[in-house]
Amino acid sequence: MRCRTLPAGLILGLVACCFAVADDSGSDVADENNPHNAVLDVPPENQSLPLEELQMFADVFNQIRQGYVESVPDSELFELAVQGMLSGLDPHSVFLQEKAYDSLQETTQGEFSGLGIEIGQDRGYISIIAPIDGSPAEAAGLRAGDIILKIDGESIRDLPVNKSVEKMRGPTGSEVLLTIGRRGVADPFDVTVVRDIIKVPSVRSRELMEGYLWLRASQFQKDTGLEAIATLEQVLSEGSLKGVVLDLRNNPGGVLGASVDMAGAVLDGGLVVYTEGRHPQAADRFEASPGDMLNGIPIVVLINGGSASASEIVAGALQDRRRAVIMGTRSFGKGSVQTILPVSETRAVKLTTALYYTPKGRSIQAEGIVPDIVVERAEVTSVESNRRTKEADLQGSLSGDGGPVDAQSESEALTELRNSDNQLYEALTLLRGINLLTPETPSEEPETEDPTTVALGTP
């Protein structure tokens, strides 16, 4: 059957639509991984459009308009066409309609409404990259790696990501029922999550024991790097710091600039990360400023399968530059750069435009960061009995000259940490071991002997 040539007006409309997606001329919007204003200008040699294929597209478009069982508005057909183009590329390239566009902008600012999960796509379903600290999703027991099979009883297989997000959105305080598939669990199970305003404290910290700091980044918002630097400055001003555990577990990533700020603060200049893509504007290098604010204080970075994107950049940079020991399990492997290309005031295309590379040229994409020391999350049970008889328990045993030594309080605190979070316990143990083997630097010059005393031979 011969295809009918469509009116020039419709063809021009389709051409305009294609140009709008490929060559944005609207306001600049920073994407989730790139702090620059991301607008990709199409080189002159690539501006020609495949008119024969566009004619075929227009014919299909017209057939749907005239023959589909229900009437579908032209605007909706165009949106479906754009969604189809992007969903066939990779899991992270999507068409952002008004709600999804607003949600992305809110997330990078640190406050939004929802369940509190970072999501991706896995074989047609929604996968949870990581629940956000303190979120309703975390409270409900959702984990990194869980697969959402149904939302409120409806299968979401092959449903576009933005549609799934819309289903999970709703008024604060309302409930959503998720059917979850989990590795190691034979049958899917239901989880009820109560929607709430997600206020994300991107940086938290506490002292694990004297001189050892736990610094947690739950995701990389615009100011996360600066918040981490301010925390370290305050701790340094208050006393001696012997080691830092940088906890990036279940950190789904975020703003690239924040990760560069964080890694750059403890690197003495040099490369942090670079990007490469097909388009010349996709290539970029990010360098650290001279000066390590911790002056070589040992660092252990904790990662796991929920550590993605910007958190992998930090781990990869500190690993390649030999500035930190990476501990935990292999990270997620999300090493692609998404650029936000606005096509109107309320819609945008999130398009994968480049890949990240660590300072040594390793691609993070699909490979992730392999820890220097692999420590699986586990429940630890002590086999040592505290009831064993010791020398001090024997009748008539001699006492030591140094008086009683009571390390019970420290031992109890470490035991509690080991039982609640064995990975964090191992990180702290490693830092303490490094310091035990590191010679102490004298804080003051040793006193010189009195020459008169030496001359007289006085002992």
- Residues taking part in catalysis: 309, 320, 334
Q: How far apart are CA 267 and CA 322, in angstroms?
A: 10
Whether the CB-CB separation of 236 and 456 falls below 8 Å is answered with: no
β-pairing, 348-357 with 94-96?
A: antiparallel
Q: What is the DSSP string of 60-110?
A: HHHHHHHHSSS---HHHHHHHHHHHHHHTT-TT-EEE-HHHHHHHHHHHHT
Whether the CB-CB separation of 282 and 353 falls below 8 Å is answered with: yes
Q: How far apart are CA 138 and CA 252, in angstroms?
A: 14
* Residue for token pair 């301010």: 230
* Residue for token pair 């290539």: 283
| Distances, alpha carbon 345 to alpha carbons 13, 25, 99, in Å | 19, 11, 12
Number of other CB atoms surrounding residue 189 within 10 Å: 13
Whether the CB-CB separation of 196 and 176 falls below 8 Å is answered with: no
Q: How far apart are CA 331 and CA 305, in angstroms?
A: 4
Burial class (CB in 10 A: 0-12, 13-18, 19+), 19: middle
CA nearest to 246, candidates 264, 263, 268: 263
Whether the CB-CB separation of 323 and 372 falls below 8 Å is answered with: no
Both tokens of 61, joined, read 């478009």
Number of other CB atoms surrounding residue 363 within 10 Å: 15
CA nearest to 59, candidates 5, 119, 23, 140: 5
Q: How far apart are CA 137 and CA 116, in angstroms?
A: 6
